[in-house]
Amino acid sequence: MAGKQDSWNGWRERISALRNVPAVLRIVWDSGRTVVVLGVLFRLIASLLPLGLLWITKLIIDILVRARTTHQAIGTQLWWLVAAEFSLAVFGSVLSRGVDFLDALLADKYTRHVSVLVMKSFHNCRARPSFGLPLRSARRRASRGSGPGLVAGPWAERKSG
């Protein structure tokens, strides 16, 4: 019975986490509107490409069936359709690379935007006197080499005095 309760609690946590989605989408939008719009547009076009390929394939099959049943020669329209299908396939591949590039670009812009937000938030916290004292103390310890810090670690030579 405890397993079912844990399972329901897990689902409740997941569902309650969905309320953070609008805030995350706002941050993504603020980090790169153009990249987001292009990414959605490229994905929309890429999702419609299989329908175009399917339609061209249907037209090719219709031409072949008509040529077979009427015992007539295959016209040049078939080769134009084959070239169009090949072109759509190549375009789909290029579009896929474009989506990958836009995803990487958006990830970079998102990381940069979130880092700037964190730095601004940290700057606002530093302005408070209650936060400044521990920060100055940690900075002093790090510069003396007496305690954990980024400036002087256990390998750094300790200053005397």
Q: What is the pLDDT along the chain (161 residues), one digit of tens a residue?
A: 556 777 788 888 888 888 989 999 999 999 999 999 999 999 999 999 999 999 999 999 999 999 999 988 888 899 999 999 999 999 999 999 999 999 999 999 999 998 888 888 877 776 565 655 565 665 566 555 444 444 444 434 444 44
How far apart, in whole angstroms, are the C-alpha atoms of residue 74 and residue 46?
31
In three state form, how does the secondary structure of the chain look? CHHHHHHHHHHHHHHHHHHHHHHHHHHHHHHCHHHHHHHHHHHHHHHHHHHHHHHHHHHHHHHHHHHHHHCCCCCCHHHHHHHHHHHHHHHHHHHHHHHHHHHHHHHHHHHHHHHHHHHHHHHHHHCCHHHHHHHHHHHHHHHHCCCCCCCCCCCCCCCCC
| pTM greater than 0.95 | no
| pLDDT score recorded for residue 74 | 86
Residues in the chain: 161
How far apart, in whole angstroms, are the C-alpha atoms of residue 106 and residue 29?
10
